């Protein structure tokens, strides 16, 4: 497995502002990896609100089950994340491991288990030796604040080739509040399903049910709009924490969806989530091209998204792009197989700005050279107009290369 940094990696990292009420420490518990950090403890101040979205897998991991049951409580004090072992499909032992992990952290924090959130990423089906956390958590607790945002993002990596961070700041009540996020994932799914995790923090005071509405509302257009290989993980977890520290600086709590500040914060949160989700695609296993699929003119937004995903998940579309081949016929095929309303004779397709198909056949002015030039770019936009209605959606994916097969055929052996 190559550990070369993805050629699509961001060229620089943003300056991450402090989020008052959030502190990180990282450590090496030796769960699987050697010579790197593999545990992150994030502590958040008392009164922090929490919201979460999780995998829809019917075989969700033990930490996903744990968090799902505790998010409705709305309160958090700490988040413990390990990499190297997903604690998924581990039966009763997996449940016991999350319980022990939570006890170790709540004991150190002096809070209830219900305020502890857990996430694990790595190999599936192997027992997580949670007892390894007991010494480490004390050390982490003592060292809170020693780790920065990039350190935190690095500790949760598995086959990621770079750490993923994003930030946005907005003014509400004349005061600047910030939203910082970290994520891991080398595609929607990293080898052995220990896949997409993201943890986002803000100092804005936001009530839990408002926070949840904000997070859920932004998920469809960000993390739920990316795909590397169409494989959904057992471990997908996004948690959003609002420490409310800005309240002391004069920001009143956001407690209703009708509050005009809700939209301001939601837009900023959306920016952070889209940024992180794109970074995951750019680190897609074996990826050499970043692809945006825009579908418009569909009967509804939901229909547009299904068609966009049908294109973005098609192995034939993705291998053609890997080969820099403007093979628009495969886009037609992917529209046709989506099972959504489409009329072959109204379909138009663009690669970048080059219209390649129009009214059910090759564009009369089609130029292979112009289309090929678009395919040589690092970022490729495929646009499809169905000509039926007002529905539209965008999704992001990467190409399918021999390296993807190599990474995933050789991972465990």
Q: Which residues are catalytic?
A: 195
Q: Largest Cα–Cα distance in the chain?
A: 71
Residues from 59 through 88 that contact its own copies (CB under 8 A): 59-60, 88
- Residues 346-365 binding its own copies (CB under 8 A) are 347, 357, 359-362
Draw the binding track, 287-326, toward its own copies (x: CB under 8 A; -: no contact): --------------------------xxxx--xx-xxxx-
Q: Which stretch binds its own copies (CB under 8 A): 105-113, 174-182, 223-231, 260-268?
A: 223-231
Which parts of 132-191 interact with its own copies (CB under 8 A)? Answer: 189, 191
Nearer to its own copies, 9 or 316 (CB): 316
Contact 192, 253 (CB under 8 A): no
Nearest partner of 279 among 226, 206, 319, judged by Cα: 226
Are the beta carbons of 241 and 198 closer than 8 angstroms? no
Instruction: Assign residue 187 a region (left: φ > 0; alpha: ψ between -120 and 50; beta: otherwise).
Output: left
| 247: DSSP letter | G
Touching its own copies, residues 189-218 (CB under 8 A): 189, 191-193
Rounded to a whole number of angstroms, the minimum distance from the CB of residue 80 to its own copies is 22
Task: Decide if residue 402 touches its own copies (CB under 8 A).
Answer: yes
Q: Cβ(301)–Cβ(386) under 8 Å?
A: no
Considering the complex, state which of residue 10 and residue 336 has its C-beta at the smaller distance from its own copies.
Answer: 336
Nearest C-alpha neighbor of 205 from the set 42, 52, 75, 48: 48
Q: Which is nearer to its own copies, 20 or 126 (CB)?
A: 126
Whether the Cβ atoms of residue 49 and residue 225 lie closer than 8 Å to each other: no
CB of 57 or CB of 209, closer to its own copies: 57
Per CB under 8 A, which region of 41-49, 246-254, 268-276, 340-348 contacts its own copies?
Answer: 340-348
Q: Which residues pair with 165 in a beta bridge?
A: 182
Separation CA 79–CA 23 (nearest Å): 10
Which residues 6+ apart lie within 8 Å of 408 measured at CB? 191, 285
| Interface with its own copies, residue 376, by CB under 8 A | no
CB of 91 to its own copies, least distance (A): 3
Candidate ranges 14-22, 36-44, 148-156, 336-344; the one touching its own copies (CB under 8 A): 336-344
Residue 344 structure tokens:
């072959």
């Amino acid at each position: 497995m190559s550990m070369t940094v993805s050629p699509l990696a961001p060229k620089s990292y943003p300056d991450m502002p402090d989020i008052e009420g959030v502190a990180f420490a990282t450590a090496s518990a030796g769960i699987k990896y050697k010579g790197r950090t593999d545990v992150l403890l994030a502590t958040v101040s008392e009164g922090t609100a929490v919201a979460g979205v999780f995998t829809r897998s019917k075989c969700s991991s033990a930490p996903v089950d744990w968090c799902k049951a505790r998010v409705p409580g709305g309160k958090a004090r700490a988040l413990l994340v390990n990499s190297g072992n997903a604690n998924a499909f581990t039966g009763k032992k997996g449940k016991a491991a999350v319980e022990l992990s939570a006890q170790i952290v709540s004991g150190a924090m002096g809070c209830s288990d219900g305020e502890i959130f857990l996430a694990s990423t790595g190999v599936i089906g192997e027992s997580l030796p949670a007892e390894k956390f007991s010494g480490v958590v004390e050390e982490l607790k003592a060292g809170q604040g020693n780790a920065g945002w990039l350190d935190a993002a690095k500790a949760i990596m598995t086959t990621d080739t770079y750490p993923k961070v994003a930030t946005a700041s907005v003014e509400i009540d004349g005061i600047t509040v910030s939203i910082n996020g970290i994520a891991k994932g080398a595609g929607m799914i990293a080898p052995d399903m220990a896949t997409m995790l993201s943890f986002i923090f803000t100092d804005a005071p936001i009530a839990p049910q408002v926070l949840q509405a904000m997070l859920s509302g932004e998920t469809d257009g960000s993390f739920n709009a990316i795909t590397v290989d169409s494989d959904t993980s057992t471990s997908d977890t996004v948690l959003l924490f609002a420490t409310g520290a800005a309240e002391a600086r004069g920001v009143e709590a956001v407690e209703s969806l009708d509050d005009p500040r809700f939209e301001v914060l939601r837009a900023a949160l959306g920016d952070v989530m889209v940024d992180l989700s794109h970074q995951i695609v750019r680190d897609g296993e074996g990826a050499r091209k970043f692809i945006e699929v825009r579908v418009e003119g569909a009967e509804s937004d939901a229909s547009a998204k299904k068609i966009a995903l049908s294109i973005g998940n098609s192995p034939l579309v993705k291998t053609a792009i890997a080969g820099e081949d403007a093979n628009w016929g495969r886009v037609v095929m992917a529209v046709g197989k989506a099972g959504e309303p489409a009329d072959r004779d109204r379909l138009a397709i663009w690669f970048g700005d080059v219209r390649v198909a129009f009214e059910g056949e090759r564009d009369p002015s089609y130029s292979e050279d112009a289309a090929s030039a678009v395919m040589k770019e690092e970022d490729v936009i495929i646009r499809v107009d169905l000509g039926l209605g007002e529905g539209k959606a965008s999704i992001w994916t990467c190409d399918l290369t021999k390296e993807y097969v190599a990474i995933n055929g050789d991972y465990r052996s």
